[in-house]
Amino acid sequence: MLAGDSDGVPWADFCFQEWRETHGFDPPWSKLEYVKLNLALKRLNSEDVARAAWKAFLDSDDQYSEGHAPGLFLATLAKWTVRAAKKKPQKRVGEDVYSERLKIMQAVYEDPQFTTELERRNEYKRRAVEVGHV
């Protein structure tokens, strides 16, 4: 979508607003910076990818990209598209293990057979070992 996002916000306005939110003041850009931003958008040929890359660029705190100049964004476009792609939500390693452990713990605490904390801990450990989580 080269004319704007689903909310109708044009690419250049999006970049301007995101930059202002990051730095707390309006960017000191001239027409040249807007040309570079539009060239970056044309190279990526996807506004969603461009927006994600721009956000990754603004999230960067390395000294080299300080000030977040559109020319630097354009010059290092591949770097920011890769970083944006890596930020996609992924399932954390071990998430299923922790989810299973939580279920075990809830079952133990709901079981009236175990009245003391020591009994609950021992039963939790026994069940966790039984399913291979410890």
**pLDDT of amino acid 95:** 63
Domain that includes residue 43, residue range:
11-86
C-alpha pair distances (Å), 50 with each of 16, 32, 102, 125, 132: 14, 18, 39, 49, 44
Tokens linked to 45:
């040929």
Burial class of residue 116 in the structure, from the number of CB atoms within 10 Å of its CB (0-12 exposed, 13-18 middle, 19+ buried): exposed
Q: Is residue 1 part of a domain?
A: no
Q: Is residue 45 part of a domain?
A: yes
pLDDT band at 57 (very low <50, low <70, confident <90, very high): very high
Q: Is residue 53 part of a domain?
A: yes
Residues 16, 70 within the same domain: yes
pTM of the model: 0.59
Write the DSSP assignment of 96-119 as a string of letters. HHHHHHHHHHHHHHH-TT--SHHH
Residues 6+ away with beta carbon under 8 Å from 125:
134
Residues 38, 55 within the same domain: yes
Residues 59, 112 within the same domain: no
